[in-house]
Amino acid sequence: ACKFDAIHVGENGAAVVDKEKCTNCGACREACPRKLIVEVPYSKKVFVNCSNKDKGPAVTKVCANSCIGCGLCQRTC
């Protein structure tokens, strides 16, 4: 899990970042296999640029940049 408890995979299967807890360490960005977690310049925090509600295999058919809910960001951060 994120050592700052700042990211988790939500009920919809997509990663969710808690901006209040995020320290911008970058571990979740590096762990994301789809490279969906990016730094948002105005706040210097990370943001998951995907809000799909489908599971990985279904959503990758319609969105090449979809969060697949793998949890690597959560386990690595």
Instruction: Please give the pLDDT value at position 5.
Output: 92
Q: Which fold has domain 7-76?
A: Alpha-Beta Plaits (3.30.70)
d(Cα 46, Cα 49) in Å, to the nearest integer?
A: 9
What type of residue sits at position 21?
Answer: K
Give me the mean pLDDT over the 31-59 stretch.
70
Distances in whole angstroms, Cα of residue 53 to Cα of each of 18, 40, 63: 19, 22, 12
Q: Under 8 Å CB-to-CB from 58, ≥6 apart: which residues? A: none
Which is higher by pLDDT, 35 or 22? 22
Instruction: Give this prediction's pTM.
Output: 0.53
Instruction: Specify which residues 45 forms β-bridges with.
Output: 40
Percent of the chain's residues with pLDDT above 90: 6
Average pLDDT, the chain: 77
Instruction: Please give the pLDDT value at position 69.
Output: 76
